[in-house]
Amino acid sequence: MSAYSAEALIECHHKIAPFVHRTPVMRSSLLDRMSGAELYFKCENFQKAGSYKIRGATHALLVKKEAGDLRGIVTHSSGNFAQALSLAARNIGVPAYIVMPESAPEVKKRGVREYGGQIIECAPTLEARESEARRIQMETGAEFIHPSNDPWVMLGQGTACKELLEDVGDLEIVVAPVGGGGLLGGTALSASFFGRECTPVGAEPLVVDDAYRSLKEGRILGNTSTETIADGLKTVLGTYTFPVLQQHVKTIVRVTEGEIVQAMRLVWERMKIVIEPSSAVALAAILKDAGRFAGKKTGIIISGGNVDLQKLPF
């Protein structure tokens, strides 16, 4: 577990800093009143490629490049990681091959193309994604990076919380949405390394609550449905992210689809920022489980802002 030291996270942050934005922290007096907490929004929706994913993608790429001749990079992602890896690869000068389900939102496909990534479409199943990614590895010699279940990716995602703690030193809680666990894992590591008794809390859609159940049962479980509006959170924990969550995360708050949409709408209407449903999950958790956060200095990782304006839920 030596990869998960404070020193490793500091070095990671130092490495990726030239390639990512240091995003602002926003406040909202209205949402403070509504939640009863003191909220600090870490705005990764303003991040390059529109989400925190560029942090982990850049880190994993730089580590692989340092390790030797890198001929290309391949991943399977339905969304933000695809855009992020395309941009990171362009920044670093290697080709990026992105395996995407045909059903992925058009705005996300366009993003990948604009950042120079090459899209390979496949059926919307995990099996199809994985076999297509393997084929490309074989044909091109590209290396595979998983969107979340990768130690270097997870460390990179933790730099958002590191910055938040640098800006707001005495946070008592930090909330992040959980899908594959890269963001929540990295956030929990940063909270333990750089926080002063800062508790990480996960936020998850009720209909894909695999992380909640996995932590409860002590083993990685799947979901029977993927019918959530929070399209970034359909994935499940992996062999790298699960142990980190087991060690550091005691609480995952689950929210309904209606609560997600309501929180998303609040942020758009009152904070005037565009956030995607996955980000709204974190605020929804705070509004739902208000007792836990009352009077607490609470950080929220606003994970991204890539939304298809043609398919809004309001």
* Beta carbon of residue 231, minimum distance to a copy of itself (angstroms, whole number): 16
Three-state DSSP class for residue 75: strand
Q: Which of 239, 272, 291, 295 touches a copy of itself by CB under 8 A?
A: 272
Site for a copy of itself in 174-213 (CB under 8 A): none
Measured CA to CA, the distance from residue 82 to residue 204 in angstroms comes to 22
Longest pairwise C-alpha distance within the chain: 56
If the CB atoms of residues 92 and 107 are measured against a copy of itself, the closer one turns out to be: 107
Q: Is residue 269 part of the contact set for a copy of itself (CB under 8 A)?
A: yes
* Beta carbon of residue 314, minimum distance to a copy of itself (angstroms, whole number): 5
Q: Is residue 45 part of the contact set for a copy of itself (CB under 8 A)?
A: yes
Measured CA to CA, the distance from residue 303 to residue 282 in angstroms comes to 9
* Beta carbon of residue 55, minimum distance to a copy of itself (angstroms, whole number): 17
* Beta carbon of residue 26, minimum distance to a copy of itself (angstroms, whole number): 8
Q: Is residue 1 part of the contact set for a copy of itself (CB under 8 A)?
A: no
| Cα 103 off chain centre by | 20
If the CB atoms of residues 20 and 99 are measured against a copy of itself, the closer one turns out to be: 20
Bridge pairing between strands 96-101 and 25-26: unpaired
Measured CA to CA, the distance from residue 201 to residue 290 in angstroms comes to 13
Site for a copy of itself in 86-145 (CB under 8 A): 107
User: What is the total count of residues that contact a copy of itself (CB under 8 A)?
Assistant: 19
Q: Which of 168, 188, 275, 286 touches a copy of itself by CB under 8 A?
A: 275
Q: Is residue 50 part of the contact set for a copy of itself (CB under 8 A)?
A: yes
If the CB atoms of residues 114 and 166 are measured against a copy of itself, the closer one turns out to be: 114
Q: Is residue 314 part of the contact set for a copy of itself (CB under 8 A)?
A: yes
Element (H, E) at 71: none
Beta strands in 29-81 (DSSP E): 38-43, 73-76
If the CB atoms of residues 25 and 128 are measured against a copy of itself, the closer one turns out to be: 25
* Residue 149 DSSP one-character state: S
Task: Kindly tell me the burial class for residue 269, based on how many C-beta atoms sit within 10 Å of its own C-beta (0-12, 13-18, 19 or more).
Answer: exposed
Q: Is residue 274 part of the contact set for a copy of itself (CB under 8 A)?
A: yes
Measured CA to CA, the distance from residue 199 to residue 173 in angstroms comes to 5
Q: Is residue 25 part of the contact set for a copy of itself (CB under 8 A)?
A: no
Element (H, E) at 257: helix 257-266
The strands making up 73-76's β-sheet, listed across from edge to edge, are 118-122, 96-101, 73-76, 143-144
If the CB atoms of residues 94 and 274 are measured against a copy of itself, the closer one turns out to be: 274
Q: Which of 268, 289, 292, 296 touches a copy of itself by CB under 8 A?
A: 268
Measured CA to CA, the distance from residue 62 to residue 12 in angstroms comes to 9
Q: Which stretch binds a copy of itself (CB under 8 A): 2-10, 131-139, 205-213, 270-278?
A: 270-278
Residues in touch with a copy of itself (CB under 8 A): 24, 45-46, 50, 107, 265, 268-269, 271-275, 305, 307, 309-310, 312, 314
